[in-house]
Amino acid sequence: MSSTPPIALSSASVYPLNVHDAFSVAHDLGYDGVEVMVTGNRVSQDAAQLNTLAERYDQPIHAIHAPTLLLTQQVWGSAWNKIQRSAQLALDTGCDVVVAHPPFRWQGTYASDFADGVKRIYETVGVRIAVENMYPWRARGREAKMYLPHWDPVPQPYQHVTWDFSHAAIAAMDSYEAIRQLGRRLTHVHLCDGVDNAKDEHLVPGYGTQRVSESMHHLRDTGFDGVVAVEVATRKARGVGGREELLGETLEFARAHLASVPDEPAAAPGTVAG
């Protein structure tokens, strides 16, 4: 019987709180670790401080999310420097997965050489750069070509992929079918939900239209050996403890749907099953 994948809390899930709060919340709710999103916050960039938090809260770091978002374009300078420093941060904090968004079209040779570049990093450094699925940007009813080669990593030559259910919802993709197609290339999962309304809502699983339950069962049944990281938006959580309630509910969902199905008891001698 295969073990259940670790369920980590993405530090993005406690925004606008900081990475310290992510470790604290993960500990209090009983998560298996943390995914650290690198931002302008100095602690999120510092291996020594992150390792101190991991030890203090008994929450290992399972992945580093590179600062490849539009909002973090000023963090760590050039595009390749963002990936390389993220890979080093992963090594220094004891994990081997970096989540990265696909390149923007205006990023020159970084974009055109991206697939080969992330492969080289994996082969030389040993850190897997798991490229995340994104979604089409639309302006005046037309799709704006933002990513190169594409926002959909499934047909691309990436060895390692991160799947995000909220992004898939915006793109009107069937996550269950995409995950099946990815097979062993699926390295990391951002657990959430969404609806096709052009808003990246990162809902609690079951509150959107994605086939999240079926996808979790598929991961369970195929022996997925990566990490499931909860990335649920809690910024609008209401009342004291509202954030923790949403993140606790998502953790319970993950554990319930990833738990191994118990073997059926053998039929007693002389009886007929069914």
- CATH number, domain of 54, equals 3.20.20.150
**Is 60's pLDDT higher than 60?**
yes
Residue type (1 letter), 53: L
Q: Which of 63, 154, 210, 98 is nearest to 202 (CA)?
A: 210
Asked if residue 106 is part of any domain, the answer here is: yes
Q: What is the pLDDT of residue 236?
A: 86
Asked if residue 2 is part of any domain, the answer here is: no
* Predicted confidence band of residue 178 (pLDDT cuts 50, 70, 90): very high
Asked if residue 1 is part of any domain, the answer here is: no
Summarize pLDDT for 93-143 with one digit per residue, the tens.
999 999 999 999 999 999 999 999 999 999 999 999 999 999 988 766 667
Q: Which of 182, 239, 252 is nearest to 213 (CA)?
A: 252
Summarize pLDDT for 142-174 with one digit per residue, the tens.
677 789 899 999 999 999 999 999 999 999 999
**Is 50's pLDDT higher than 90?**
yes
Asked if residue 211 is part of any domain, the answer here is: yes
With a threshold of 0.85, does the pTM exceed it? yes
* Predicted confidence band of residue 2 (pLDDT cuts 50, 70, 90): low
Asked if residue 81 is part of any domain, the answer here is: yes
CB-based burial, 228-239: b 16+ in 10 Å, e otherwise: bbbbbbbeebee
**Is 240's pLDDT higher than 80?**
no
Domain containing residue 101? 7-258
Q: What is the pLDDT of residue 1?
A: 42
Q: What is the pLDDT of residue 271?
A: 44
Which of 19-28, 171-180, 227-236, 237-246 has the weakest average pLDDT?
237-246
Q: What is the pLDDT of residue 221?
A: 95
Asked if residue 263 is part of any domain, the answer here is: no
**Is 267's pLDDT higher than 60?**
no
Summarize pLDDT for 190-220 with one digit per residue, the tens.
999 999 887 889 999 999 999 999 999 999 9
Asked if residue 121 is part of any domain, the answer here is: yes
Count of structural domains within the chain: 1
**Is 226's pLDDT higher than 80?**
yes
Q: What is the pLDDT of residue 177?
A: 98
Q: What is the pLDDT of residue 193?
A: 97
Mean pLDDT score, 168-197: 96
Q: What is the pLDDT of residue 261?
A: 64
Asked if residue 272 is part of any domain, the answer here is: no
List all residues 6 or more positions away from 260 whose beta carbon is below 8 Å from its beta carbon. Answer: 1, 2, 4, 220
Higher pLDDT, 35 or 69: 35
